Structure formats: C-alpha cells, structure tokens
Amino acid sequence: MVGSSMIEGALRRDRAVVVFALLGVIMLAWGYLLLGAGMSLDEMGGMPMAQEEPIWTPAYAAVALAMWAIMMAAMMLPSAAPMILLYGTIANRRELKGDPAVGAGVFGLGYIVVWTAFSLAAVAFQFGLDHAQLLSPMMRVTSRSVAGGVLIAAGVYQWTPLKQACLRRCRSPLEFLMTEWREGRVGALKMGLRHGTYCLGCCWMLMLLLFVGGIMNIAWIATVAAFVLIEKVSPGGHWIGRVTGVALAVWGVAILVF
C-alpha cells in the first residue's frame, strides 16, 4: 500500500510538472504577442523605424523568425497539450528509469522543431510579399486578389483528404501513441516530430490566414487559435472545420468579385 501510494504520488508530481511547464510556455508566448500587438517588426526588435518599407537585414529576418516561432507556439500548443499530457501519463507508467517529465519535454520539442521549420517558410513568404510590395507595415496583405486567393485556398484545403487524414491523427491521440510508440528520449523526439507534422498538416493553411487579418492583429490571432483548438478537441470538430471551409471559400470569392 505504501509503495503504491508513493508511485501514485510520483505520477501526480510528474504530471503537475508537465502541466505547469505547458502553461508557462503558453502564457509567455501569449504575453509576447500581447506586448507586440499593433507593432511593426522593427519596433518589436527594438530597431529604429527609419522608413516605411522594411530592409531585410539578418537582424530583421531573425526577429521575423522569432515572432513566427513564438506565435506558432502560442496558437498551436493549447491544442497539442492534451497529446503531450497523454504521452507523459503513458511514459510515467512505462519507464522504469529516467524522468518521464523530461521525456514529455523531449516529445514536445518535436512539435517546436516542426513549427519552427514552418516559421522559416512563413518568413520566406512574408519576404516575398514585402519584396512585391503587397504587405502593409502591420503585416497585412494589401492585395485583394492575394487575400481572396488565400481564403479560397484555405477553405478548399479544409475538405481535402490530406487535411482530413491529419485531423484524424490529431483528434485520436491514444490511437497514435498505441501504434507509433517508441521507447527512450530519441523515440520521444521522433514521435513528437511525427505527430507535430500531422499537427502542421492539419493547420498550416489556417496559419496563412494571418496574412489576411494581420500577423500582429491579436484578435485575429486569438480567433484562429480558438478555431484550431475547437476543430481538434470538440466532438463535432471535423464538421465544424468543413463548414468553416465553405465559409472561407465564399468569403474569398466575395473579396475577389466585390
């Protein structure tokens, strides 16, 4: 009885560590976004705004990458948290040595690596829009055709087999862990990378909607983040996603036509 209670106490302690770590990262990320709401990248990086059009120096690109990586964590980590907590719970009961909380951190690191890779692509897209003079200082697309095209593409993607396959993986964390489990820290990282890729495949087009509403528009960021969470965890999330896809496509067509 004493040994069993000690084990249960250790399990609760490790779970609490993971929960507080996730909450801490989410709060820090959202705090950064709230402090930077309405600012340009120059202001967020502490650089002087000498002109309206940004100069893409290495420092400016680094600030852009950091902004995207933090924004991805703020938006995606809440929906990934149930999976990370479930991994930590299972790891607690399977591992005979080592710290399962560290394993959960390594598992979560896989997500961060995938989201950072997407952030690099997003920065490249942002650079292209800036170079074509299609982006405002507040990082919102100024071209109606581009905005409409992104909305239509995001709406159509909600109905594609790839989107639905990735969403099923995100909505069934236990099934993924049962079929893809790998032991050890390296295994945890591989699993995090794999499931992080499914996570990205589910939501990457939704992230591009930030260019339509404004990358530093905090209300728009919160709306997209809330939708990502609802789509992944609510009972009717897959149908909510499809209905939203139709709405996005109609919105895009309306922008192009009217």
pLDDT in tens, the chain (258 residues): 444 454 455 556 667 888 898 999 999 999 999 987 656 565 655 555 444 567 889 999 999 999 999 999 999 999 999 999 999 888 877 764 556 678 889 999 999 999 999 999 999 999 999 999 999 887 899 999 999 999 999 999 999 999 999 999 999 999 999 999 998 889 999 999 999 999 999 999 999 999 999 998 999 999 999 999 999 999 999 899 999 999 999 999 999 998
Residue 141, helix vs strand vs coil:
strand
Give CA angle at 115 (94, 82), nearest 5°. Answer: 40
- The model's pTM is 0.86
Long-range contacts of 244-248 (CB under 8 A, 24+ apart): 244/155, 244/158, 245/154, 245/155, 245/156, 245/157, 245/158, 245/159, 246/155, 247/155, 248/151, 248/152, 248/154, 248/155, 248/158, 248/209
